[in-house]
Amino acid sequence: MAGNEALVWIDCEMTGLNPDHEEIIEIFCIITTGTLEVVDEKGLGIVVHQSKERMDMMGEWCTQTHAQSGLTAAVIDSKVTPEQAAEELLSYIKKYIPERKMGLLAGNSVHADRSFLAKEPYKKVVDHLHHRILDVSTIKEAARRWCPRKVTREAPRKQGLHQAKEDILESIEEARYYKEVLFDKKSDRA
């Protein structure tokens, strides 16, 4: 069990940024304790099927980025439906956080992921989680505005791969940095 301070780190890759018209095509989830200790190193990665026709409708940025990473081909080859992906994700979360409204969704700009997960068939995942989120991007923006420059200058740099697993691992690393620098009482780095 992850405890009652658990964080549910999720990164989704989508066909675009509009949740009313675009689709989730990849999900990666890792559960940590509230102190950012990873509960399951393996995590859960899911590539969600979409047809070639649907993938061909993506905008230029998504088309280029997902083709270069190999995600487009993996999505077309995948046999996992969105319904199966939602069920698998919820089961994974419940394995470590069985009680509803306990785990907080976490990540970078995670409100965007949440807006996609709030749609069917993923809505049951959001319904299982707490209504609050831990957004590392918000912490970074606050630090950029209100802390000495060295705080953000020394922060881990993101590679910008736009691959769900790598992105969420970078989010956790960045959260650990800000936790140490800004929130741990013993730190003298800020």
Which one is catalytic: 66, 111, 131, 162?
Answer: 162
Pick the CATH number of 7-135 from 3.40.50.300, 3.30.1360.200, 3.40.50.2020, 3.30.420.10: 3.30.420.10
Residue 66 annotated among the catalytic residues of the structure: no
pLDDT for res 185: 72
pLDDT for res 20: 97
For 4-31, give the DSSP string: TT-EEEEEEEESSS-TTT--EEEEEEEE
Which pLDDT tens digits describe the chain residue by residue (190 residues)?
677 799 999 999 999 999 999 999 999 999 999 999 999 999 999 999 999 999 999 999 999 999 999 999 999 999 999 999 999 999 999 999 999 999 999 999 999 999 999 999 999 999 999 999 999 999 999 999 999 999 999 999 988 778 899 999 999 999 999 999 999 876 555 5
pTM of the model: 0.94
Phi/psi at 2 (5° precision): -90, -10
Angle made by CA atoms 165, 97, 138, in degrees to the nearest 5: 55
As a whole number of angstroms, the distance between CA 129 and CA 133 comes to: 9
